[in-house]
Amino acid sequence: MKGIAGWLIQRITGLILIAGLIVHFSVMHFSGPSQITFDVVIRRLSNPYWKVFDLCFLVTILFHGFNGLWGIALEYIRSVRLLKFSQTVIVAMVSLLLVTGIYIIAL
Domain ranges of the chain: 3-106
Question: Quick one: pLDDT at residue 2?
Answer: 64
DSSP the chain: --HHHHHHHHHHHHHHHHHHHHHHHHHHTSS-GGGSSHHHHHHHHTSHHHHHHHHHHHHHHHHHHHHHHHHHHHHH---HHHHHHHHHHHHHHHHHHHHHHHHHHH-
Question: Quick one: pLDDT at residue 87?
Answer: 93
Topology of the domain covering 3-106: 3 helical TM bundles of succinate and fumarate reductases (1.20.1300)
Render each residue's pLDDT in the chain as its tens digit; 107 residues.
Answer: 567 888 888 899 999 999 999 998 888 888 777 777 888 888 888 889 999 999 999 999 999 999 989 989 988 999 999 999 999 999 999 999 999 999 988 87
Question: Quick one: pLDDT at residue 1?
Answer: 57
